[in-house]
Copies of this chain bind each other. A is one copy, B any other.
């Protein structure tokens, strides 16, 4: 049996209250269990971010009327040309676009590209999903 240790954590009361409600909804029986899962998930994510070969998808939501935005997104993508396979563009409504960029390469580069795109002024939301190339599974 793995050795268990106990330690103390300080949190804003308000935040802890919300967290307690959430873990009750998720049917955890105590906080330690919930923390264990959060930590595991975080370690897995950290593992992905190590510089290994991945495929991934970057999603961006933006208002295409912001002129410079569209050009900047396009320029950044061409700068990371080798990394990007293709992208899918969906006109959500008269203003908003969803762009999903398929990438293949090293995770650090993918992270860098995602960060560059998300930091363009006017991008409303961005995500990066990393996945395996499938070769080793």
Contacts and interface: CB of A to CB of B under 8 A. Distances in A.
Interface of A: 2-16, 18-19, 22, 25, 31-32, 35-36, 38-40, 42-43, 46, 55-57, 59, 61-64, 67, 70-71, 74-75, 77-78, 81, 84-98, 100, 102, 104, 124-135, 137
A86 B84 contact: no
A12 B2 contact: yes
B91 A78 contact: yes
Instruction: State the number of copies, please.
Output: 4
Closest 9 CB pairs of A and B: A96-B134, A86-B86, A127-B129, A2-B12, A3-B13, A10-B32, A88-B88, A124-B137, A87-B89
Contacts of A59: 55-57, 129, 131
